Amino acid sequence: MNDTLLTTLQYYGAGASTLAALIVSLNLGRRWTGWAFVVFVTSSIALVAWGFLQPDSEGIGWQNLALLIINAIGVYRYLILKEDPGEQPGKGETN
């Protein structure tokens, strides 16, 4: 396997997940958080590829396959759903 490709996947995955975590931690709002999950998805894809292409790194591949699913849920909740993911239906209504 091409060492340059493996190195690129590894460092992109690490850097992208760090950036996405920073954006989420800043709590900049729903849209920013949604785009951070998009970055998390790209990171997970890179690390799934790296994990299964790099000898003896399948654990990272499987972990990031699970994280890919979790991150896709984040994209759905923050960028596709119309209501705020933390808001309960009827919240704020008075009888």
Query: How does pLDDT run across 60-92, given as a tens digit for each residue?
Result: 999 999 999 999 999 999 999 977 756 666 555
Q: At what angle do helices 58-75 and 30-53 cross, to 10 degrees?
A: 160
Task: Parse the chain into domains and list their residue ranges.
Answer: 3-80
Q: How far is residue 71's CA from residue 17's CA, in Å, rounded to a whole number? A: 11
60, 51 Cβ separation under 8 angstroms: yes
Q: How far is residue 51's CA from residue 65's CA, in Å, rounded to a whole number? A: 10
Which pLDDT score, from 0 to 100, does residue 53 have? 96
Higher pLDDT, 83 or 9: 9
